[in-house]
Chains A and B, each alone.
Chain A
Amino acid sequence: MRVNSALLLFFGILLVFAPALKDWLYDGDKTWLRHHLVWLMVILCIYLNSRRYSKNGR
């Protein structure tokens, strides 16, 4: 099976930092905003990853 290293790295980091991320997300009165910030970061990651694929001509 082909292993996507970028995805593996992402999920590895997510696993390590999940508890801290959860605490940060639900801390204070900016829960709604922080969720969307994380989402925006994820979109940015996907965008950069897709650009990498396009450059490789795949």
Chain B
Amino acid sequence: MGVNTSLLLLIGIGYLGILFAVAFAAERLQASNKLLTHPLTYTLALGVYASGFAIYGITGLAADYGMGYFNYYFGLCIALFLTPILISPLHFVCKTYRLNSIADLLSFRYRSQAAGSLAALLSCLAIFPLTALQIEAIAESAKLINESITGNTSEFAREASGLIFCIFIAAFTLAFGSRSLNSSDNHRGMLAMLAMESAIKLLALLVTGAVAVFVVFGGYDGMLNHLHDNPSLMQQLQDRSADEGMRIMFATFFGMALSMPTIFHMLFAENPSIKNIRVASWGLPLFLFGMSLPVMPILWAANSTGFSGGDYAVFAISNHINSDLLALLIFIGGLSAASGAVVVTTLALASMSLNHLVLPWLQPRKPEIDVYRWLLRTRQLLIVAIILIGYLLYAMLPSGQPLSALMIITTTGCAQLAPGLLGVLYWPRGNRVGLYMGLATGTLLWVLWLLLPGIGVPTLAAFNLHPELAFSNEHEWFTAAALSLGANSLIFIIVSILTPASAEERSAAEACTIDDLNRPSRQRLNLASASELGERLTEALGETVAQQEFNRALTELGFTEDETRPYALRRLRDRIEINLSSLIGPSVARRIMDRALPFSASTLGEGEDINFIESRLEHYQTNLTGLAADLDGLRRYHRQTLENLPIGVCSLARDQEILMWNRSMAQISQIDSQTVLGSSLLGLPVAWADCLLAFSASSDSHWSHHQLETERGQLWLNLHKTKSQTEGREELLIVVEDITETQMLENKLTHQERLASIGRLAAGVAHEIGNPVTGIACLAQNLRFDTENPDSLETASQIIKQTQRITAIVQSLVNFAHSGREGPTEAWQSVNICHCVNEAIQLLGLDNEAKYVHFSNLCSATLEVQGDTQRLIQVFVNLLSNSRDASPEDATICIEAFRETNQENIHITVTDSGEGIDQALQERIFEPFFTTKDPGKGTGLGLALVYNIVSDLGGEIALESPVAELNNCGTRVHLLLPIAT
């Protein structure tokens, strides 16, 4: 080994060290760093597609297939060109359901773990040759450059560089690609490294191309002259390019661009935003354009120097001009390209293998195991294993194998996944049986026809193939690719048509199909609350993981642990399943969730989750165009009409889940629609739940004047219901009309009418009783003069007393009847409240037999109301007298008055500290002859009189008992009287 060989290796190691440093620095930068998050950085990182093959092998492909080499770039470019109908919908599905690999996607869409495992296995088989190709490219280039610089032809540089490359890549992938289980923004370092290596390989190839044109040919005209002087070159190019196999080649590379794990991983797992894809849709083709432009000039220049092969033509240029610097630049470019490709490929395969080849068979069972740590360690082991397998494959590759042969094996293998992938977006009829059969057939043909011969394993005699034959004769692999892909697609289609798909599969198919908003059916979960969901999850996942995933889902959805709505619980379950899917793959996640949180066996009919569909439509609105947008506009119009109806509307599913709760309903019930939508009727406050349950269960279509006792008071409702006329939807539409105000008004009118009737009756009774009583009193007077008998005189005196009492009662009745019957007083004047109250207090003080209480008149001397002084004094005498009777000895009765804010009323209160009045009695307290006093102590007309006088004066009266400020005892009478004008 010469010194220069060591230096070469050191340069290589040094460069790889720089990549480490760049990745490390990027990881240290903030996530919001503009350079890191710029779409162009992502686009450059996506250039990882142009692997070591794009530096060393592409010239070999051009030598064999002429302009056919274009397909290597054009397949991906066309896929990106179809971004609106291909990449964007796939991105949407993958991001919505957290699917990070094509195996995840197929497993999710076809509802089959086997589909995922088959895809993962095929991807591994197809990608290992590509990994081997990268190692081979690095090892061979190291050998060539060593020979070129040092003249040393030993194999040491080749062997050492291959091994060192693998060790470095494994270390890098472990350090920057698998430190955490989250696959999104935690790989900033890796993206920065990929962007840098893309820039370097582009530079290397462009410089080599420029040297080829301007140094080897002496300029562009020199190259054209060379082509003119050697017409066979153009003829050869045209002959090879015009071959019919070019279409197969294009189809194969297009299929690979869609389904290659590396590209899939970069497009969907490492890309947080659709904006990046939009920039990449033109940025990456431009990058690949730059990579493609120098290919033919380099090949022609290399051939002009006597180079006869295809692969590694770039070194023929550096050798020709004898430039070590150019050779080193090419080597570094190749190293960049190969290292990036292997890192991303390894990551993609490790994630896929973990989810679909390891977890279905091997899962941590012991509860004390930290599942996150276990998953991380397993993934890291897989990374090392994948690179090791790549190295072993490289070691066993037959010598002289062209790089394009390995590329073709990978391309054809990956392309086998394309039919299933296209079915995800465009063919909901495709099912898992079709996928198994098609994929198995295509894979079998590919393995026997291309893979095994390609890696030097003797294939079946029936194919009569040899490794050198398979790729030296281009028609051989064209046939193999066409047959395997054709058989795969055809069998997939035919079997899918002939076999039925499960309901679950159909639902997933709808979820993935373009422009189809997933219409999940409402399935019932036997759960009472979100916290119970968390407990069940703990049993399946262990406490740490369950708690983390549970909290994460709650945060993402904005729910709380107290959530009880069935709709919310379903969303929570779905979110946890999606989050788990990004960790352990959709199939295993689904299996765990089905075990821990199974849906109830009872079906809820064909009813769809309307709330979910609406929320998805709201989210999707800006993407709707044409007829869909018009229909959405119509939907919004009808929805708004329902929302704005001045009558409450609520819609109930068969399982009593609330599907609609419009604005009026929210106002009537004082229950916000956002908190109630998707919940069960039982989740409503008891009064509403009982009422709606009873009404929905009853055979009546209407309930009129239904009385409902709620927290905010008594309500009177008219309820109507009708069944949904939509086919397949057993829903109940309930219309609720709030007639509380009308009912209260009716009650008041009825009450007043009753009082008026009683007044009229009292007047009549007073009149009828008055005459005989006057007669009796006269007779009793006469009796006093007719006899000297003391007993008779005493009797006459008693009769006179009793008749006087009857007269007093009758007079009260007459007064009451007059005040209630004659309408509002006509003696309007300004009445000073304070004086009025003082006068009433003085009058009450004349009664020496009454108990002693303090009257505290706190009314302002300036407050005046519109009314009649004498009648108001009567009001206060009655009110204060009642308060005195209700109060204990030596108590204080407080009279206050103040002006109502922004109202033309004076608010007067009379507060005593008695025992208060029962709620039931309060309704009758203003009725004539109703009294709570002992018999003989009250006529029951005082408050009735007050009520009538206040009404006459245009005021209002109300009772408050007990009074909160008086420790829930006492009574407060509120009077509202019009302010003096």
Question: Which residues in A have some Cβ–Cβ distance to B below 8 Å?
Answer: 1-2, 4, 7, 26, 29, 31-32, 35-36, 39-40, 42-43, 45-47, 49-50, 53-54, 57-58
Contacts and interface: CB of A to CB of B under 8 A. Distances in A.
A7 B77 contact: no
B285 A7 contact: no
B241 to A, nearest CB: 7
Interface stretch (B275-283, B329-337, B584-592, B812-820): B275-283
Nearest to A30: B224
Contacts of B125: none
Interface of B: 67, 70, 74, 77, 80-85, 224, 227-228, 231, 234, 237-238, 241-242, 278-279, 281-282, 285-286, 289, 292-293, 296, 426, 514-515, 622-623, 625, 628
A26 B70 CA distance: 14
Q: Which of A4, A43, A58 is most buried by chain B, counting CB atoms within 10 A of its CB?
A: A43
Given A7-B85, A43-B285, A32 B67 contact: yes
A50 B283 CA distance: 11
A46 B238 contact: no
Nearest to B89: A2
Q: Which of B237, B282, B292, B623 is most buried by chain A, counting CB atoms within 10 A of its CB?
A: B282
Nearest to B234: A29
Given A39-B285, A39-B289, A26 B242 contact: yes
Nearest to A47: B282
Contacts of B514: 1-2
A14 B279 CA distance: 24
Contact of A46 (B227, B242, B282, B292): B282
A7 B278 contact: no
A1 to B, nearest CB: 6
**Those 10 A-B pairs whose CB atoms lie nearest each other, nearest first:** A47-B282, A46-B282, A32-B296, A50-B278, A29-B234, A2-B515, A43-B285, A4-B84, A29-B227, A26-B238
Contacts of A45: 81
A40 to B, nearest CB: 7
Given A2-B514, A32-B296, A46 B81 contact: yes
Contact of B278 (A29, A36, A54): A54
B282 A50 contact: yes
B241 A2 contact: no
Contacts of B286: 43
A31 B237 contact: yes
A24 to B, nearest CB: 13
Given A1-B514, A43-B286, A7 B82 contact: yes
B82 A35 contact: no
A43 B285 CA distance: 7
Given A39-B77, A39-B289, A43-B289, A32 B237 contact: yes
A29 B232 CA distance: 11
Given A1-B515, A26-B241, A53-B278, A46 B85 contact: no
Contact of B285 (A46, A53, A58): A46
Given A36-B293, A50-B279, A42 B77 contact: yes
Given A39-B70, A50-B278, 15 more contacts: A7-B85, A29-B234, A31-B237, A31-B241, A32-B296, A36-B292, A39-B289, A39-B292, A40-B289, A42-B81, A49-B84, A50-B281, A50-B282, A53-B84, A58-B623
Contacts of A54: 278
Contacts of B292: 36, 39
28 contacts: A1-B514, A2-B514, A2-B515, A4-B84, A4-B85, A7-B82, A7-B85, A26-B238, A26-B242, A29-B224, A29-B227, A29-B234, A31-B234, A31-B238, A32-B67, A39-B74, A39-B289, A40-B289, A42-B285, A43-B285, A43-B289, A46-B80, A46-B81, A49-B84, A50-B279, A50-B282, A53-B278, A58-B622
Contacts, number: 69
Contacts of A31: 67, 234, 237-238, 241
Contacts of A53: 84, 278
A29 B561 CA distance: 73
Contacts of A42: 77, 81, 285
A54 B224 CA distance: 41
A40 B285 CA distance: 9
Contacts of B426: 1
Contacts of B281: 46, 50
Contacts of B293: 36
Contacts of A29: 224, 227-228, 231, 234
Nearest to B277: A50
Contacts of B228: 29
Contacts of A32: 67, 237, 296
A43 B237 CA distance: 24
Nearest to B227: A29
Contacts of A46: 80-81, 83, 281-282, 285
Contact of B70 (A7, A35, A50, A57): A35
Nearest to A8: B85
Nearest to A53: B278
A43 B238 contact: no
A45 B81 CA distance: 9
Contacts of A49: 84
A32 to B, nearest CB: 5
A29 B231 CA distance: 8
Contacts of B227: 29
B303 to A, nearest CB: 14
A12 to B, nearest CB: 15
A32 B209 CA distance: 14
A57 B622 contact: yes
Nearest to A39: B289
A39 B81 CA distance: 11
A53 to B, nearest CB: 6
A13 to B, nearest CB: 14
Nearest to B292: A36
B223 to A, nearest CB: 10
